[in-house]
Structure formats: C-alpha cells, structure tokens
Amino acid sequence: MYPLLLVRYGELSLKGRNRRVFEDLLTANIRVAIADVPHGQITKTFGRIYLETAGNWEELAARLQRVFGIVSISPVLRRGLDLEAIKEGARLVVEDTPGQTFKVETRRTNKDFPLTSPELSRTLGGHLLASFPHLQVDVHQPDFVVNVEVRSEGAFIYSKVIPCLGGLPAGSSGKGLLLLSGGIDSPVAGFLSMKRGVDVEGVHFHSYPFTSQQSKEKVIELARLLVPYNARGRFRLWLAYFTEIQKALHKGSYPSLSVTLMRRFMLRIAAKLAEREGALALITGDSLGQVASQTMESIHTINAVTSMPVFRPLIGLDKQEIVEVARRIGTFETSILPYEDCCTVFVPKNPATRPTIEQAERAEAELDVDGLIAEALEKTELIELRAGQML
C-alpha cells in the first residue's frame, strides 16, 4: 500500500560542510543494502531521503534497519493535491495504525494549496473522527500522529515511525582493523565501531592445525554476519598465521605470561597490517576485568607494543549487555559454537593478572620477535566478503 519510504537521518546535519559527503555515503550504503531487492528511485530532499518501493516496503525497511546513519523510517502514502484524495489517504493510514487517540500534524511547503496547515489538520481531524467512532483526539500524548506534508509534488501521508540504528554512515570516519576472534565480544566491538562510522576490516589469528578448519569457518561466518552493517556492504578479513608464534610461546620459559605475550604479538601484527592497509586504529573486544588478559595492568602491558590507537568499545559493558547486542545483531548463535580459537588451545593454567612491561620484554628477549612477525604477515591471506555474494 505504501509507494514510498521516508528515511530520516540525524547527526549528519551536525556535520557542517561534510554533510554532502555523509549524505552521499549514506545513499551509497543504502543502495548496496537494497541492491538485490526490487525498488524504484532514491531521492534526497529537505534533509531526508525518499525511496520508492515496489509494493514491498516491509522488505526494504528490514534492510534499511541495518544501515547506520538512519534514525527512523516511515512508510508513506502519496496523493494528489486534492482534499478528497488526502482525506481518503488519511483514512487508509488510520486503518493501518493501531491506537485509540491521535492528532493530525500538517506541514505545508506548497503555499498554493488552498488550506493553511492548521486548517487542513482540523479538517482532516474532523473527518477521521467522523469516519472512525473508536478514535479520540489527544494533542498532548496521542497513540499516533497522522502526518501530512503538502508539497508541490503532492501530499504525503504517514503515521508509522520505525526506529533504526542511528549512528554515522559506516565508512564516514575512516578505516579500522578489528581483531576478530571466534568469541562473543569482538563481533560486537566491530558492530559498535561501524556505528560510529568506522569502515571495519578484520584480522583473525589462527593456529592451524592446532585449531580446526571449523574454527576458521566460524570466524568467516561471523565476518559475513557483519557485512550488512559495514561500509559499502563488504568486509575484508585477514587470516593471519599464528601457529609458529604459539609454538614458540609454548616452548618459552614464562608460561604464566603466554597470554600477555600472545596478545602483544597480535597487536604488533595487527598494527603492521593496519599501517599497510591505511587503517588508523585497531579495535578489540576487551571489556575491563573480564579475564586475566583484560585487567588494567594486562591492557597496559599489551598496549605498550603499539602507538596506534586501540579502540575498545566494550570496555564499560557487562557480559550480559554484550550478549544482548550479540543476540540483536545475530552473531551470538555463531559465537557460541564450540570450536576453539587459538587462545583456548594454548592457554596456561595460571595466567598472570598483573604482568609488567619489563616482564614481557624479558620474556620476549628469548624470542625472534621480528622474524616471527614477518613470517606471520607473509603467510596472511585475505578473504573478501560482500553483500549479495554470501557463501
């Protein structure tokens, strides 16, 4: 019934002269999100985007609900500039909206239309009251609002407002590299970074054959689940070879430091990859105090290997809050599949909870740090995942 979707975006308007760039990126992300769904034109006017549906507004709306930068969407009816046609449209909208109390709000940008905004609101309100005996007017806290916009192209009528993700268009902030494990947390950290405009790429450290092919596939699946939220509907995933590093750490004389050292290697490799690929920040799923490697001392010692900013979007979240987001974005079920990632295979019995930089450096003096990093980078492969080209 609705030939149009009205797409509202919020924070973009705060961005001054970048606004054009942001709008273009949002439109590009929208185009990718609906590429395989029938639809008509996309038009930008008055700080909004209108999308012509093909009688499939629900399907299109579901796609748009995963595009960052969109605050809300409304399915909209279009009528000619004729009072009877507008009344009929308003009746249809009311029939399609639950609730007992309502008000009419009119915006008239087309001053040729014979009724003023208040006059049209009053006329339509009276007509709707007469047509629907169950309805009452409540101008303060109505169950729903019948919105009417009178423009030169016609009258636009709607009541539903579907909340969306908000945030900034993915890709508007720059590129970041997510350390993506197979766990619950890091996909959520990736999602929240995309929400603030980061174009996210991922790096996963695998220790094949000590870790299974399935654990690698699980991570690829997690990356695939993040595709719809990311810039231009794609996600580049680097699979970094971590086996030799794990073996070297396992043989080393500091078992309680192995997790700290492992993380230091991960950050060093990720920082090199990020530099090479033009990413300006690393992203991890650390949350403060969750495990031994996420105490403030551990984070301090791990972080000391790079001067690149490391974003930790989950730092202040409890596990339950992280799980809620994971469920909402659809990564949870995959994250809890049993396949181990590299850290559980080699994890020590008593990891240090307060490792110092000096201790870590002493332990690393036994190792060929540069050689191990160079080998890991050399054996890193790239998988590129795209919307509409899913495995």
From 181, 258, 303, 334, residue interacting with ligand ATP (rule: CB under 6 A): 181
Binding mask 189-228 for Mg ion (x = CB under 5 A): ----------------------------------------
**Could you say whether residue 223 binds ligand ATP (CB under 6 A)?**
no
Query: Which residue do the tokens 């870790």 mark?
Result: 211
Residue 109 identity (one-letter amino acid): T
Q: Which stretch binds Mg ion (CB under 5 A): 43-51, 79-87, 173-181, 195-203?
A: 173-181
From 144, 205, 238, 332, residue interacting with ligand ATP (rule: CB under 6 A): 205
CA pair distance 217, 339, nearest whole angstrom: 10
CB-nearer residue toward ligand ATP: 193 or 284: 284
Residue 284, binding choice from Mg ion, ligand ATP, none, Cβ under 5 to 8 Å by partner class: ligand ATP
**Could you say whether residue 325 binds ligand ATP (CB under 6 A)?**
no
CA pair distance 213, 336, nearest whole angstrom: 16
Q: At what angle do helices 243-251 and 258-277 cross, to 10 degrees?
A: 150
Q: Residue 29, class by beta-carbon neighbours within 10 Å (0-12 exposed, 13-18 middle, 19+ buried)?
A: buried
From 39, 204, 224, 268, residue interacting with ligand ATP (rule: CB under 6 A): 204
Pairing of strands 136-137, 42-45: unpaired
CB-nearer residue toward ligand ATP: 106 or 298: 298
CA pair distance 267, 198, nearest whole angstrom: 19
Q: Which of 224, 208, 191, 212 is nearest to 322 (CA)?
A: 191
Total residues at interface with Mg ion (CB under 5 A): 2
Q: How far is CA 295 from CA 107, 116, 150, 208, 348, in A?
A: 55, 63, 58, 28, 16
CB-nearer residue toward ligand ATP: 25 or 326: 326
**Could you say whether residue 171 binds Mg ion (CB under 5 A)?**
no
**Could you say whether residue 228 binds ligand ATP (CB under 6 A)?**
no
From 29, 106, 181, 331, residue interacting with Mg ion (rule: CB under 5 A): 181
CA pair distance 12, 132, nearest whole angstrom: 39
Q: Which stretch binds ligand ATP (CB under 6 A): 1-9, 116-124, 150-158, 287-295?
A: 287-295
Residue nearest to ligand ATP (CB): 183
Total residues at interface with ligand ATP (CB under 6 A): 20
Q: Compute and round to an integer the Cα radius of gyration of the chain.
A: 26
Q: Which helix (H) or strand (E) holds 22?
A: helix 19-33
Rounded least distance, CB 174 to ligand ATP, Å: 19
Structure tokens at 267: 């950050």
**Could you say whether residue 183 binds Mg ion (CB under 5 A)?**
yes
CA pair distance 290, 129, nearest whole angstrom: 57
- Write a three-state SS string for 40-107: CCEEEECCEEEEECCCCHHHHHHHHCCCCCEEEEEEEEEECCCHHHHHHHHHHHHHCCCCCEEEEEEE
**Could you say whether residue 193 binds ligand ATP (CB under 6 A)?**
no
Residue 280, binding choice from Mg ion, ligand ATP, none, Cβ under 5 to 8 Å by partner class: none
Rounded least distance, CB 391 to ligand ATP, Å: 20
From 77, 184, 245, 385, residue interacting with ligand ATP (rule: CB under 6 A): 184
From 23, 201, 221, 286, residue interacting with ligand ATP (rule: CB under 6 A): 286
From 185, 201, 221, 364, residue interacting with ligand ATP (rule: CB under 6 A): 185
Which residues of the chain form contacts with ligand ATP (CB under 6 A)? 179-181, 183-186, 204-205, 266, 284-286, 290-291, 293-294, 341-343
Which residues of the chain form contacts with Mg ion (CB under 5 A)? 181, 183
